[in-house]
A and B are shown apart, each in its own frame.
Chain A
Amino acid sequence: MLNFTIRRLLTAIPTLLFIGLIIFLLLELAPGDPMAQVPLTVPPEVKEKMREALGLGEPTHIRFWKWLVQFFIIEPQIYLDNTFGTAFAEGKQRVISWQTRSPVMDIVAQRIPQTLWVVGMSYIVGVLIALPIGIISAYRQYSVFDQVGTFVSMVGYSVPPFFSGVLVIVIFSVNLGWFPSIYDTTHQVVDWDSFVLQLKQMIMPVMVLALQTTAQISRFMRASMLDNLNQDYVRTARAKGLKESVVVMVHVLRNSMIPVITVIALGVPGIFGGAIITEQVFKVNGVGQLLITAIYANDIPMVQTITFIFAVLIVLFNLIADVLYGILDPRIRYD
């Protein structure tokens, strides 16, 4: 298992470099101009000067090389400097966003908490709701509960958040006035009242996102349970006279969880990616909103860096899912 992990980590390096290059070239070839949002009243020669100040005049390969150096050498040095008070990166050029003229990683670090709180919470809530629904639906297949669960899952799958999000805002913010429609990212929880306010402003985005997670995971859970419920070992367990709760919750559930856990692990990078649409709808300005505004503004260093971080997370969590699979299921051996 250790060999396998090391081998996978090593092959991940060229993979990621290749992904980095592809992202860079795609952005390079895509039409667009970082000055497109500057009003027309700013004359073209001024815009040209601004472009030069952004470093756009340099050839492609030099800019790619600069980005690699900045991302892989200087940014980790900055991290070390901040953690241990060293001065490796002093005076070195970091990855700078074109919109804000400030280091991209600082902004990403600033956005991560919002995203983790809202999107991460919705993932946890979604999974916690999905698992029991999946179990009961499978155990009582074709019952009313199962039918309703299937219906809700289908709704969760098919209703996009730009619809459900606005719908809940209209109901709960505009008509009932219970929850704020705009998320306050500067809000700090210090006492009970501020905690309640935080709950209030989180509940709508969390539930809208959780609906989607629930839909997906509960279907997986149900299918996986159904696969196992008809296995011979279940009949054996029942024949041994084990209680039904033990049969389902211990024997069947443990075996059914194996594929579900990998699915859950594979979904984790998506949390960091944020939820572009839901973040926009509720003004939770997290990583997703950061990415979409950077795309609109043609802020290439920002788009490149964020997409690459996503790529790293996806490769990493794929590996984690594989390793987890091996640990949970003794039949799987990689060596």
Chain B
Amino acid sequence: MKLKYTLLGAAAAFVMAPMAMAERGSDGHVNIIYWQAPSIMNPYLSGGTKELEAASLVIEPLARYNQDGAMVAWLAESVPTVENGGVSADLTTVTWKLKSGLLWSDGSPVTSADVKFSWEYCTAEGGGCAQSEKYNDVVSVDTPDALTAVVTFGVSKPFPYGPFVGAQAPIIQAAQFANCMGAKAPECTDENFAPIGTGPFTVTEFRPNDVISLAANTNYRDANKPAFATATLKGGGSATASGRAVLETGEFDYAWNLQLAPDVLANMAAAGKGTVVSSFGTLVERIMVNLTDPDPALGDERATAKHPHPFLTDINVRKALSMAIDRELLVEIGYGTAGRATCNVLPAPAIYASTANDACLVQDIAGANAALDAAGWAKGGDGIRAKDGVRLSMLYQTSTNAVRQDFQALIKQWWGEIGVETELRNIDASVFFGSDPGSPDTFQKLFADVEMYANNFDGTDPESYMANWECKQAPSPDNQWQGNNMPRYCSDDYDALVAEMATTGDLNDRARLAKAMNDMLMQDYVIIPLVDRGRVSAHSNTLGGVVLNTWDSELWNAADWHRM
């Protein structure tokens, strides 16, 4: 029986995958493990990835990104564009048409009023909506008929796919959340734990930070999906334990985000019960170079634009620091198949990826030494370079994390070989990434010479990401140390490119601008990119239909998952 079933499943999967799922619920139960346990099922109240992905099983957006980063219509009939008339020529209005016949899991119809409500909910005063940036510049959402929602922006939006696109901005049911607006949002425990949705599953029991029990949505738009009648999303433990549960013991079918040492993962996969899958997005591990002086003696003006850094303002030093790094080795030690060396802070999607900086892929210690010699930085008796009494001695900080500490040690050694002295420091992630203006250890304050962390952007459009390095984004006491321009980079040319991109609608022009900005940052060596980090997950060999997606929720196509 089992063999027959397996063979049938395999055959069907090869011939025509959708046919493998004969009917809804025929494949029994699926077990998913997230080593970080979801706390809430409402992504509007939590920016966390774990909540976002858990919720994506239940609530869905109008359009989302597929595994290639291309936008696909989800609850909408099609993705509105200027060509199909969905986006107005002046780029200020977007008309979304819902698929007809959509039902909420409670059986009531999905209407444009729900779309409008989702916007109102997230922008309500006092709600603290984590995704409010998605609704920036939206001035109104009109509902001319039950299936049409017209989003109007106050400004021209070259990329108008913030609202209602991607796992971050799903449609919630107006009827259910009507009494949960603004300051009342946190009081709606039942609603936040079990939202009524349009997705393939509905919540039967939500235990915060522990486990979510789900059942197939009987009103799901495809009568044959999902193949699983019930699902469990277990949370907690560690990446190692969840990898083991899928790859070695086979207790679970899908494990999320297995950030493990490459050899550990390879050993687990050798047990033959599951498959490791990886995919690349925009997450880049990078070193930020501080162009301002972090000397504590400067008091309140420490690490602000008023005091340029004594030696990192010399481009030769920054360039030498980048040249001395062997990125391939870092990948091999830290990430294995889940990483690849990169010379760009904007590595993807393909149309935005520049090839102008690829020289950095090869370590060049001799070249770095020569560059420093030529710039007048001479080695002293202790092997450390100095010029005019300024020694190349740096503080290098990052968050506490085994891989990051390995990277620090390796890079310290390479920098030692070019006569740069490095002191290492690691700070607990909750402090480092926390934005407590009272703490001197946040990554925004950057009271160090260089710091390392990873960052990416939501979706596929790099406009707001590249705008991070505008002059005005530099953290300083004047803006309570907010902003993402950690190097305190300030270039009129760069700001001009950012401004140009904000008004450019054509995709090819946007790609050209984004590449130009990336190249500018790279060739100024204010950001030293190290590793393009992929997402690694694992699924059991009996689970079919998994398509790892780094541009949206990993569980984006759970409706297509089936037993093989």
Contact = CB atoms under 8 A, between A and B. Distances in A.
Interface of A: 31-33, 35-54, 96-97, 99-103, 106-107, 110-111, 169, 173-174, 177, 180-182, 184-186, 280-281, 283, 285, 289-290, 293, 296-298
A280 B192 CA distance: 26
Nearest to B433: A36
Interface string B207-221: 111110100000000
Contacts of B210: 110-111, 185, 285, 289
A173 B249 contact: yes
B47 A186 contact: no
A31 B434 contact: yes
A97 B205 CA distance: 19
A283 B237 contact: yes
A283 B241 contact: yes
Contacts of A42: 47, 130-131, 133
A39 B209 contact: no
A301 to B, nearest CB: 11
20 contacts: A31-B439, A33-B435, A36-B430, A46-B47, A46-B130, A49-B129, A49-B132, A97-B208, A99-B46, A100-B39, A100-B189, A100-B193, A101-B186, A181-B251, A182-B237, A184-B211, A185-B210, A186-B213, A283-B241, A285-B235
Contacts of B238: 280
A44 B39 CA distance: 21
B128 A181 contact: no
Contacts of A298: 430, 434
Contacts of B207: 110, 185-186, 285
Interface stretch (B11-19, B110-118, B452-460, B521-529): B452-460
Given A182-B237, A285-B236, A49 B47 contact: no
B429 A36 contact: yes
A101 B45 contact: yes
B33 interface: yes
A54 B40 CA distance: 15
B249 A177 contact: yes
A37 B457 contact: no
Given A46-B132, A50-B130, A102-B40, 17 more contacts: A31-B436, A32-B434, A33-B435, A35-B434, A37-B433, A40-B456, A42-B131, A53-B126, A54-B128, A99-B208, A100-B39, A101-B185, A102-B208, A174-B248, A182-B252, A285-B211, A285-B236
A272 B522 CA distance: 54
A259 B226 CA distance: 61
B129 A47 contact: no
Contacts, number: 180
Residue among B46, B210, B234, B251 with the most chain A CB within 10 A? B210
Contacts of B130: 38, 42, 46, 50
A182 B210 CA distance: 12
B192 A101 contact: yes
Nearest to B464: A43
Nearest to A111: B210
Contacts of B248: 173-174
A84 to B, nearest CB: 22
B326 interface: no
A33 B209 CA distance: 19
Contacts of A177: 249
B62 to A, nearest CB: 20
A181 B249 contact: yes
A181 B243 CA distance: 11
Given A43-B133, A100-B39, A285-B210, A169 B244 contact: yes
Contacts of B234: 182, 184, 283
B435 A99 contact: no
Contacts of B45: 101
Contacts of B252: 182
B541 interface: no
Contact of A180 (B37, B40, B49, B251): B251
Interface string B226-257: 00000010111110010011001101100000
A107 B47 contact: no
Contact of B237 (A44, A48, A52, A280): A280
Contact of B208 (A100, A184, A186): A100
Interface residues of B, number: 63
B507 interface: no
Contacts of B132: 46, 49
B348 to A, nearest CB: 15
A174 B274 CA distance: 14
B532 interface: no
B456 A181 contact: no
Given A40-B455, A50-B128, A182-B251, A281 B241 contact: yes
A186 B205 contact: yes
A206 B482 CA distance: 48
A177 B236 CA distance: 21
Q: Which 6 A-B pairs have the closest CB atoms?
A: A53-B128, A33-B434, A36-B434, A38-B47, A44-B482, A101-B186
A223 B429 CA distance: 46
A31 B436 CA distance: 8
A212 B430 CA distance: 32
B430 A37 contact: yes
A11 B457 CA distance: 56
B185 A185 contact: no
A289 B36 CA distance: 11
Interface in B405-459: 428-436, 439, 441, 455-458
A33 B133 contact: no
A44 B430 contact: no
A289 B209 contact: yes
B158 interface: no
Residue among B186, B211, B234, B441 with the most chain A CB within 10 A? B186
Contact of B209 (A31, A46, A103, A293): A293
Contact of B241 (A39, A111, A182, A289): A182
Contacts of A280: 236-238
A102 B192 contact: yes
A44 B244 contact: no
A312 B226 CA distance: 48
A280 B483 CA distance: 36
Contact of B249 (A39, A51, A174): A174
B139 interface: no
Contacts of B251: 173, 180-182
B310 interface: no
Contacts of B183: 53
B484 interface: yes
B39 A40 contact: no
Contacts of A38: 46-48, 130
A101 B209 CA distance: 12
B544 interface: no
Contacts of A173: 244, 248-249, 251
Nearest to A34: B434
B435 A182 contact: no
Contacts of A100: 39-40, 189, 192-193, 208-209
A101 B296 CA distance: 40
Contact of B47 (A32, A39, A181, A290): A39
Nearest to B237: A283
A49 B211 contact: no
A290 B209 contact: yes
Contact of A285 (B187, B209, B249, B457): B209
Contact of B236 (A43, A47, A169, A283): A283
A137 B192 CA distance: 56
Contact of B185 (A45, A53, A283, A297): A53
A44 B431 contact: no
B462 to A, nearest CB: 12
B48 A39 contact: yes
Given A181-B251, A186-B211, A283-B236, A101 B189 contact: yes
Nearest to B483: A44
Contacts of B436: 31-33
A49 B40 CA distance: 18
